[in-house]
């Protein structure tokens, strides 16, 4: 899962948002974590600007 840009957030439908929340809740209940490299994602977003 990647950090969402403003454009990506605006493109999410209410149904998609609900599914993302449900998936997150399932991960939480099962004590699973998503591997993220937030520094790399931030650097990519800076380069894109």
**Arithmetic mean of pLDDT over the chain:** 84
Q: Which residues of 3-36 are buried (b: 16+ CB within 10 A; e: fewer)?
A: eeeeeeeeeeeeeeeeeeeeeeeeeeeeeeeeee
Q: What is the pLDDT of residue 40?
A: 80
In this predicted structure, the answer to whether residue 11 has a pLDDT above a threshold of 70 is yes
Domain-wise residue ranges, the chain: 6-48
4 CA to centre of own chain? 5
Average pLDDT value for residue range 22-27: 92
pTM of the full structure: 0.60
In this predicted structure, the answer to whether residue 2 has a pLDDT above a threshold of 90 is no
Q: What is the pLDDT of residue 16?
A: 94
């Amino acid at each position: 899962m990647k950090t969402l840009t403003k454009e990506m957030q605006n493109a999410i439908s209410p149904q998609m948002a609900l599914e993302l929340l449900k998936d997150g809740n399932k991960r939480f209940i099962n004590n699973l974590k998503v591997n993220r490299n937030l520094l790399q994602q931030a650097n990519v977003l800076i380069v894109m600007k």
